[in-house]
Amino acid sequence: MKITKATPEAIADAAAALRRGELVAFPTETVYGLGGDATNARAVAAIFAAKGRPRFNPLIAHVADVAAAERLGRLTAHGRRLADALWPGPLTLVLQRQPGCPIADLATAGLATVALRVPAHPIAQRLLAEAGVPIAGPSANRSGHVSPTTAAHVAADLAGRVAVILDGGPTVVGLESTVVDVTGDAPVILRLGGVSREAIAEVIGAPIEVATGHADRPASPGMLARHYAPATHLRLNAREVRDGEALLGFGPHLPPHAGPVINLSASGDLVEAAANLFAALRTLDAAGATAIAAMPIPDEGLGEAINDRLRRAATQP
Q: How far apart are CA 146 and CA 289, in angstroms?
A: 17
Asked if 113 touches ligand TXA (CB under 6 A), the answer is: yes
Burial class (CB in 10 A: 0-12, 13-18, 19+), 288: exposed
CB of 94 to ligand TXA, least distance (A): 4
Helix H or strand E segment including 96: strand 91-97
| Distance between CA atoms of residues 174 and 220, nearest Å | 20
- Cβ nearer to ligand TXA, comparing 60 with 289: 60
Q: Which helix (H) or strand (E) holds 13?
A: helix 8-19
How many angstroms separate the CA atoms of 179 and 99, rounded?
Answer: 22
Here's the x/- map for ligand TXA, 176-215, by CB under 6 A: it reads as xx-x----------xx------------------------
Q: Find the binder of ligand TXA among 41, 52, 57, 81 (CB under 6 A).
A: 57
Contacts with ligand TXA, 134-173, as mask; x by CB under 6 A: ---xxx----------------------------------
> Which one of ligand TXA, Mg ion, none interacts with residue 137, CB within 5 to 8 A by kind?
ligand TXA
CB of 287 to ligand TXA, least distance (A): 26
Burial of 112 (0-12, 13-18, 19+ CB in 10 A): exposed
Q: In what order do the strands lie in the sheet with 246-249?
A: 234-235, 292-294, 246-249, 261-263
How many other C-beta atoms are found inside a 10 Å radius of the C-beta of residue 223?
Answer: 21
CB of 55 or CB of 253, closer to ligand TXA: 55
> Which partner, ligand TXA, Mg ion, none, binds residue 248 by CB below 5 to 8 Å per kind?
none
The reply on whether position 225 binds ligand TXA by CB under 6 A is: no
Q: Residues 58, 88, 134, 187: which binds ligand TXA (CB under 6 A)?
A: 58
Are 218 and 190 within 8 A, CB to CB? no
- We find the least distance from the C-beta atom of residue 221 to ligand TXA, in angstroms, to be 4
Q: Which residues, listed in sequence order, are joined to residue 293 by a DSSP beta bridge?
A: 235, 247
Q: How many CB atoms lie within 10 A of CB 285?
A: 19
Residues 78-107 that bind ligand TXA (CB under 6 A): 92, 94
Residue of 4, 30, 143, 150 interacting with ligand TXA (CB under 6 A): 30
Q: Does 149 bind Mg ion (CB under 5 A)?
A: no
For the beta carbon of residue 73, count every other beta carbon within 10 angstroms.
Answer: 24
Find the shortest distance in angstroms from Cβ 139 to Mg ion.
Answer: 3
Dihedral in degrees, nearest 10, Cα atoms 80, 136, 35, 142: 110
- 139 touches Mg ion (CB under 5 A): yes
Dist CA 312 CA 309 (whole Å): 5
Q: How far is the CB of 254 from ligand TXA (least distance, A)?
A: 29
Residue 108 site contact among Mg ion, ligand TXA, none (CB < 5 to 8 Å, cut-off depends on kind): ligand TXA
Which range touches Mg ion (CB under 5 A), out of 122-130, 138-146, 231-239, 282-290?
A: 138-146
Task: List contacts with ligand TXA (CB under 6 A).
Answer: 28, 30-31, 33, 57-60, 92, 94, 108, 111, 113-115, 117, 137-139, 176-177, 179, 190-191, 220-222
Task: List contacts with Mg ion (CB under 5 A).
Answer: 139
